[in-house]
Chain A
Amino acid sequence: MLRALLSDDLPRSRLLAAILLAILIGLAGGPFLFEGSVAFRTMSMICIFIIVVASYDMLIGYTAVVSFAHMMFFGLGAYSMAILLRELGPTWPAAAAGLLVGQALSLLLALLLGLLSLRVRAIFFALVTLAVAYSFLQLLTQFYHFTGGEDGVRVRTPAELGPAFRLAESPWQGFNLFGFIGKVLSGEPVDEAWEQSFFTVRLTGRLLMYYLLFGSSLLLFLLMLRMMNSPFGRILQAIRENEFRVEALGYRTVLYRTASVVFAACFTAFAGALFALSTRYVNPETTVSFDLMVFVLLMTVIGGMGTLYGAVIGASLFLIAENYLQDLLRLLSGWAEGLPLLAALFHPSHWLLWFGLLFVASVYFFPQGVVGQLRLWAARRHRRRAAGAYRQAMDGSN
């Protein structure tokens, strides 16, 4: 059952499986395990970015096609949803139309981009997409009558997804797990901490929205896992390893590459549409900026290219660290107060510098990312244990 769900692509490392399970439980229990709006927003973003990063990994990790237009498709999905909801009113049919239009536009644009630049050389694709994504951003800000320009578009979601909608009148109880553990560790009596850790969760449309995100994220992730472990996915991986050989075997590599680009674009446009519904506000900075593209690149690389599990780990790690690292830097710059240069380097606003260093280092030293490293350790331990058992058996027989 589990094997079929995961398309026979198991984590292959106990630690990795444990981490993935923790993330799954954390996200599934989400609003009932973590208190506060920051945690809620972070969890929503993790659900969305798992789709974005996993679909990007299909491109960069499985097919070795580097695209800089991934967030352009995300923006396309988000803006289609936002603009159609604005024009047609906040109804479910309008939302469906927004989703479909976003998908259709992404499909068309990805097909054009792929056929235009992939037939020359895969490397062209990175450059052309960079230029095209830039011009998309320019168009978004220039045609502000339609897109809202820098100010963006406020999204009016269907009422069922808004905070005013009540699923049930009586609120449920949530349990602040991390708060509880923290209190117990800091020496508070267990029963008192237990009492204090309960909080009320109001069953509003926002909760419904969150579970819509979570469900879509889970389903799409499993779908992508299925795709990448199908014959189609194998060919993509073969193209990554040796394009010439795949071509010699009779596959049209250009078509497979283009298909990979199109699928990735549609998945991320879907995530964009969900983003618009969830944050109820889209602007260029939060959907298509170049910085965001680099963040997605970082998430993919740090999590591990070529494994979809890397997307889960990368997105979760990055989005949590985005808040956490700045706190750490604030602490460090407090210590380094006397040394001006060091204090400047550790200034919280320069957290991207440290991420850049981490990024370069991880490409050199952990090219397989967190997931690859965990699997490597597991494989090593497995081998050692097998060797040990073999020796023991030999000793026994002597």
Chain B
Amino acid sequence: MTAPNQDIQPKRNLAARLLQGLQRLQQRQPHYFLLLLITLVPLLFIRPDIWLMLTISGAAMGLLIFIMASGMTLTFGLMSVLNLGHGAFIAVGAYLGAAVLAFFGGKAAAASLVANLGAIVPALLAALLVAGALGLVFERLIIRPVYDSHPKQILVTVGGAIIIEQLIQVIWGASPLPVIRPQGLAGAIVIGDMTIERFRLLAVVLGLAIYWVMLRVIHHTKVGILIRAGVESTEMVEVLGYRIRLLFMAVFVVGSALAAFGGVLWGMYQELITAQIGAQLMVLVIVVIIIGGLGSVTGCFFASICVGLLNLYVGYLIPPLAGVAAVGLLVAVLMWRPQGLIPVIRV
């Protein structure tokens, strides 16, 4: 041990202590360690003001990913159900949001933010409700018959995703659909040399709010206790007399609704969407939930922000590699911690 060593030399140099502290952080709080690593290392290569701008944008992107991914990590943690159709709900949300925003086009085009809310809130609500209902149907029809087998779940949910994607194309057509970004969110705020898009600020605020609510629910409510217990041991919760299937269904519906919620925001962020958006975002969602550790909301949160940040830093430094940065991070994390940042379920 190093303890006696420290007694002899109480004033070791700062660098060694810092290194030791980092090592401890790496072992005990891997999610903070990774976040620190990803935010600070690029600072060596990027000018500080640009770095700050990229960091805020990256955090916004990460929080959007978190909103979309959180549902999937919980459904997997709770019932060990792997839903590869999750991305399709994102696409459904994006298209529904686009449709509702177009319907309230007048309000969205108005200059004041309050008037814009008249278009944004209905869009978000519509996405939440429709995707929630769709999630209920999806869970009943597609997932319920294959609870027991993972390979079948993968096959069936991929099939379900194809069907939903094709239905989107039947309804809205195959060509890319432009999304109206409400006027109040279109501009940017200028602080000194930095410009920060307003929309990204909204994403940050909404993402943090959702994370906060989710943590409150999971850590301070009865339902939350059941969810945590269910992730730990499904059978034990059943033995205690709770209907875990019902709980799972609720989580699935909320997760699907959140995916669609994220989809609406993503659509406004991209301003042009295709039906393939679901399959593309699915990759990011998967990367995030594996890095975070399947079943862990906190892990998912940190992993999302790390992926969002890394995406922007790499996109700024080495543009061709932006698309593969997330997967590179996934491979690195898997080598370092095969179970993900915060392992919840024993795998």
Contact = CB atoms under 8 A, between A and B. Distances in A.
Interface of A: 60, 64, 66, 116-117, 119-124, 126-128, 130-132, 134-135, 138-139, 142-143, 290, 294, 297, 301, 344-345, 347, 349-350, 352-353, 355-357, 359-360, 363-364, 367
Main secondary structure of the interface of B (DSSP, over half): helix
Contact of A138 (B142, B170, B324): B324
B334 A128 contact: yes
A350 B164 CA distance: 12
A116 B336 CA distance: 11
A346 B154 CA distance: 27
A126 B82 contact: yes
A66 B151 contact: yes
Contacts of B170: 344-345, 347, 350, 353
B166 A353 contact: yes
Nearest to B279: A290
Given A60-B151, A131-B286, A294-B158, 6 more contacts: A66-B154, A123-B347, A127-B286, A138-B324, A297-B155, A353-B170
Contacts of A143: 320
A310 to B, nearest CB: 14
Contacts of A122: 150
B122 interface: no
Contacts of A60: 151
Contacts of B287: 131
Give the interface size class of chain B: 35 or more
Interface in B279-294: 279-280, 282-283, 286-287, 289-290
Nearest to B174: A349
Interface-central residue, A130, A131, A294, A344, by most chain B CB under 10 Å: A131
Contacts of B339: 120
A186 B280 CA distance: 50
Interface of B: 82, 84, 142, 145-146, 150-152, 154-156, 158-160, 162-163, 166-167, 169-170, 174, 279-280, 282-283, 286-287, 289-290, 320-321, 323-324, 326-328, 330-331, 334-335, 338-339, 347
A356 B163 contact: yes
A128 B347 CA distance: 15
A349 B347 CA distance: 42
Contacts of B169: 349-350
Contacts of B290: 124, 127-128, 131
Give the 6 A-B CB pairs with smallest separation, nearest first: A138-B323, A353-B166, A356-B162, A135-B324, A135-B327, A360-B159
B283 A131 contact: yes
A139 B152 CA distance: 30
A178 to B, nearest CB: 31
Contacts of B167: 353
